[in-house]
A and B are shown apart, each in its own frame.
Chain A
Amino acid sequence: AQSVTQLGSHVSVSEGALVLLRCNYSSSVPPYLFWYVQYPNQGLQLLLKYTSAATLVKGINGFEAEFKKSETSFHLTKPSAHMSDAAEYFCAVSNSGGYQKVTFGIGTKLQVIP
């Protein structure tokens, strides 16, 4: 069984401040982990993914995430928030079997305050 828990359904940060969105996972096998972003009235698009090649993963728009096995975490960070980062962010976990079943978290809405 696999699952992800996103801590905080809403996060507010000031423009220029650090963005930290938390994600913890549960998986019985080595996981593949993803962060997706959804802008208003759009579908989801991939920010970054962890597939065991490196524990620190860099994605688009200055975001990065670090895989910590000991903490079963995959938190998303960005050093300096921009107004355009306001969106909903989803953490997701995939199994390592033949069929790629992906389980999504409930999402975290990021508000950026000018």
Chain B
Amino acid sequence: NAGVTQTPKFQVLKTGQSMTLQCAQDMNHNSMYWYRQDPGMGLRLIYYSASEGTTDKGEVPNGYNVSRLNKREFSLRLESAAPSQTSVYFCASSQMDRVGNEQFFGPGTRLTVL
């Protein structure tokens, strides 16, 4: 089992460019999440998908869109990148049938916007 995979690992964009971060999990989890990690701010939730076919905004959704393509895949899109979106992005998944289940994280995508 690969767990949670993310592509790409690194990306450099110019202001105004767009890109999609890909995430896939092979654990048959219902719920998937996108976080950003910035120094001194911990992890902040961008969007989440409680189950296939549903998506909801998290704490910092502005400038992002998501697609829950199927149960396995959850992508994050930056339509017009800004320097403030320079960050490390993590995808995570969890099983929602029991509260208190842990989240499993991917290795992250390090994004720089110039």
Q: Which of A13-21, A38-46, A68-76, A78-86 contacts B (4 or more CB under 8 A)?
A: A38-46
Q: How many A-B residue pairs have CB under 8 A?
A: 60
B binding-site residues for A, Cβ under 8 Å:
4, 31, 35, 40-45, 48, 50, 90, 92, 94, 96, 99-103, 105-108
A46 to B106 CA separation, bound complex (whole angstroms): 12
A41 to B101 CA separation, bound complex (whole angstroms): 24
Q: Which residues of B contact A45 (CB under 8 A)?
A: 105
Q: Report whether A44 and B40 are in contact in the complex, using a CB–CB cutoff of 8 Å.
A: no
Q: Report whether B100 and A32 are in contact in the complex, using a CB–CB cutoff of 8 Å.
A: yes
Q: Which residues of B contact A100 (CB under 8 A)?
A: 31, 94, 96, 99-101, 103
Q: How large is the interface on A (under 10, 10 to 19, 20 to 34, 35 or more residues)?
A: 20 to 34
Smallest Cβ distance from B56 to chain A, in angstroms? Answer: 8
The 4 A-B pairs at the shortest CB distance, nearest first, are namely A43-B105, A51-B100, A32-B100, A106-B42
- Asked if A24 is an interface residue, CB under 8 A from chain B, the answer is no
> Most B CB atoms within 10 A — which of A44, A45, A90?
A44
A binding-site residues for B, Cβ under 8 Å:
9, 32, 34, 41-46, 49, 51, 90, 94-102, 104-107
Q: Which residues of B contact A51 (CB under 8 A)?
A: 100
Q: Report whether B108 and A94 are in contact in the complex, using a CB–CB cutoff of 8 Å.
A: no
Q: Known A43-B108, A100-B94; judge A94-B42 contact (CB<8 A).
A: no
Q: Report whether B40 and A42 are in contact in the complex, using a CB–CB cutoff of 8 Å.
A: no
Q: Report whether A94 and B99 are in contact in the complex, using a CB–CB cutoff of 8 Å.
A: yes
Smallest Cβ distance from A78 to chain B, in angstroms? Answer: 20
What would 12 more interface pairs be, CB under 8 Å, given A43-B106, A96-B100, A105-B42? Answer: A41-B107, A42-B107, A43-B92, A43-B107, A44-B103, A49-B100, A90-B43, A99-B50, A99-B96, A102-B45, A104-B44, A107-B42
